[in-house]
Amino acid sequence: MAAAEIARRGDGRLPLVIVSGFLGAGKSTWLRHQIHKGRFGRAHMIVNEAAETPVDDLLLSNAESLEVLAGGCVCCAGRQALRSSLVMLCNNLDRVTGPTIERVVLETSGLADAGAIAHAISRDPMLSHRLAIEETIVLVDATSGGDQIVNEPLARSQVEAAGVIVVTKPGAADRERRSAVAATLRNIAPEAVISWAEFGAPVEADFDADAKPLTHSPDAVRLEPIRPYRLNIRDASWVGMSAWLSAVLVARGDDIMRVKGVMRTPAGRLLLQSVRKHVQPAEILPELPLAADQSTDQDNFLVLIGRGIDGDRLAESWRKFVLSPG
Amino acid sequence: MRVRFTRLTIVNRLLAPYGLSAYDDGATPGLQLFAPTGERVLVPDMEALWREAGRLVKSAIDPLSDRALGRS
């Protein structure tokens, strides 16, 4: 029997694992460790980033094969790209007779609703015959996840869709917080299997099983949705961009969850990231083979993920302060 | 040196609407920040610069604000 057939389920469908979780929950860290440990076997990884920048894939090079969908979040703008990618994958597998992949692992962007993706696949006449959702794993940050679940509708939807919940960074939260997160998760997703992980590895965590779930904060009612905002770097200088960004983060850091940028320079591709309000030192990224149809703008931009930001104002500020010639 | 000059250009563009300016002597690390009152502060990095500038003018240096964009 060909390995391709062994790998598949009794009904011939290829298992699909969806890994989801809010921005900064630690999806890539967890996945990197799990793939290294062989949890998913020979997996084809699909990494989706709402920020349209293929950066996280660098952490996941241990997978059997890897694909990045960076054209928007797969639960909305990038849904067609995900569908095309899955259809092509299934068609390619039909032609393979030797050892092949055992499953597909989809790492969604932090802004994706895993439930919406699962629903779209199960309703798709073609994909539903070819793929079976094996499990939906949702990662939740022990330190900030509890508040996100009760205050961010998206974070709550992610947890509601989970079959397996992994609470990350338990060591960074005190017992009271761990207990509150566990109770909140139990309340929203009573059927889900809940475990804890530190740097991707499973750990035991001490918590009070009788704690009360967190409740919605009234201050959070007016929260606007979190959105990615993209700026083309064009010929902006690295230092100019960093200077502008540091000012934006000092003024608006509470509303900006994440910043990522990739910039082409004579020294190679540079990665710029912010962690909370701080701009990190630049890292040099390995060169990626560029497809012929990829313009340089696709590899030369900055993305801010935040809420309550006026996109026009952001673009105007970017033009006025960073792009204008000296 | 050219890199420091480019940085200083952008920093001064951002500070100008607030009546502040910065100077980089190219020798000492960090930047010197000048208030219209003549007050001068040496700041070690960008983050400190924006915080100190905000303190001097009693308003955050916000590149997206009406003031920075010249809308008000």
Given a cut of 70, is residue B38 above it in pLDDT? yes
From the list A240, A247, A321, the residue facing B6 with the nearest CB is: A240
Q: How far is A278 from chain B (nearest CA, A)?
A: 8
- For residue B64, being part of any structural domain is answered with no
Tell me which residue of A233, A280, A225 sits closest to A255, measured CA to CA.
Answer: A225
Q: How far is B20 from chain A (nearest CA, A)?
A: 14
Beta bridge partners of A263: A270
Q: Judge contact between A47 and A56, C-beta under 8 A.
A: yes
Which pLDDT tens digit goes with each residue over A240-276?
Answer: 888 999 999 999 988 887 787 778 777 777 777 776 6
Highest mean pLDDT among A36-40, A92-96, A312-316, B29-33 belongs to A312-316
Cβ B47–A320 below 8 Å, yes or no? Answer: no
Which residue in chain A has the smallest CA separation from B15?
A: A247
A178: amino acid identity, one letter: R
A167: amino acid identity, one letter: V
- The whole-number pLDDT of residue A228 equals 79
Pairing of strands A65-69, A278-279: unpaired
Between residues A75 and B65, which one has the greater pLDDT?
A: B65
Helix (H, G, I), strand (E, B) or coil at A155: helix
Cβ A252–B10 below 8 Å, yes or no? Answer: no
Torsion of CA A49, A51, A52, A53, to 10 degrees: -90
Report the domain count for chain B.
Answer: 1
- For residue B15, being part of any structural domain is answered with yes
Q: Choosing among B47, B55, B65, which should be mutated to test the A contact, i.e. which has the most A CBs within 10 A?
A: B47
Mean pLDDT over A10-28 rounds to 87
Cβ A239–B10 below 8 Å, yes or no? Answer: yes
C-alpha to C-alpha distance for A300 and A234, rounded to whole angstroms:
7
Cβ B64–A309 below 8 Å, yes or no? Answer: yes
- The whole-number pLDDT of residue A258 equals 78
Where do the DSSP E strands lie in B1-71?
21-23, 31-34, 40-43
Indicate the pLDDT class of residue B5, thresholds 50, 70 and 90: confident
| Those residues with Cβ within 8 angstroms of residue A106's Cβ, 6 or more apart along the chain or in another chain | A16, A17, A18, A19, A45, A46, A48, A74, A82, A117
A48: amino acid identity, one letter: N
Tell me which residue of A170, A125, A162, A120 sits closest to A144, measured CA to CA.
Answer: A170
Asked if the C-beta of B30 comes within 8 angstroms of chain A's C-beta atoms, the answer is: no
C-alpha to C-alpha distance for A184 and A167, rounded to whole angstroms:
12
C-alpha to C-alpha distance for A83 and A117, rounded to whole angstroms:
10
Helix (H, G, I), strand (E, B) or coil at A258: strand
Given a cut of 90, is residue A281 above it in pLDDT? no
From the list B4, B9, B63, the residue facing A247 with the nearest CB is: B63
- The whole-number pLDDT of residue A121 equals 87
Give B-chain residues touching A278 at CB under 8 angstroms: 47
- For residue B32, being part of any structural domain is answered with yes
- For residue B19, being part of any structural domain is answered with yes
Exposed, middle or buried, A155 (CB in 10 Å: 0-12/13-18/19+)?
Answer: buried
- The whole-number pLDDT of residue B20 equals 95
- For residue B29, being part of any structural domain is answered with yes
**CA geometry: angle A75, A76, A81, nearest 5 deg:** 80
From the list B7, B50, B69, the residue facing A239 with the nearest CB is: B7
Q: Which helix (H) or strand (E) holds A104?
A: strand A103-107
- For residue B63, being part of any structural domain is answered with no
Domain extent for B23: 2-57
Which pLDDT tens digit goes with each residue over A189-208?
Answer: 888 899 999 999 999 999 99
- For residue B52, being part of any structural domain is answered with yes
Q: Judge contact between A237 and A59, C-beta under 8 A.
A: no
C-alpha to C-alpha distance for A243 and B4, rounded to whole angstroms:
11
Q: Judge contact between B33 and B49, C-beta under 8 A.
A: yes
Highest mean pLDDT among A303-317, B27-41, B56-70 belongs to B56-70
- The whole-number pLDDT of residue A5 equals 42
**CA geometry: angle A51, A54, A58, nearest 5 deg:** 135
C-alpha to C-alpha distance for A50 and A81, rounded to whole angstroms:
12
User: Starting at the edge strand that comes first in sequence, how are the strands of the sheet with B21-23 ordered?
Assistant: B21-23, B31-34, B40-43
C-alpha to C-alpha distance for B13 and A317, rounded to whole angstroms:
11
From the list B10, B60, B65, the residue facing A244 with the nearest CB is: B10
**CA geometry: angle A240, A242, A246, nearest 5 deg:** 120
- For residue B62, being part of any structural domain is answered with no
C-alpha to C-alpha distance for B45 and A46, rounded to whole angstroms:
39
Cβ B64–A326 below 8 Å, yes or no? Answer: no
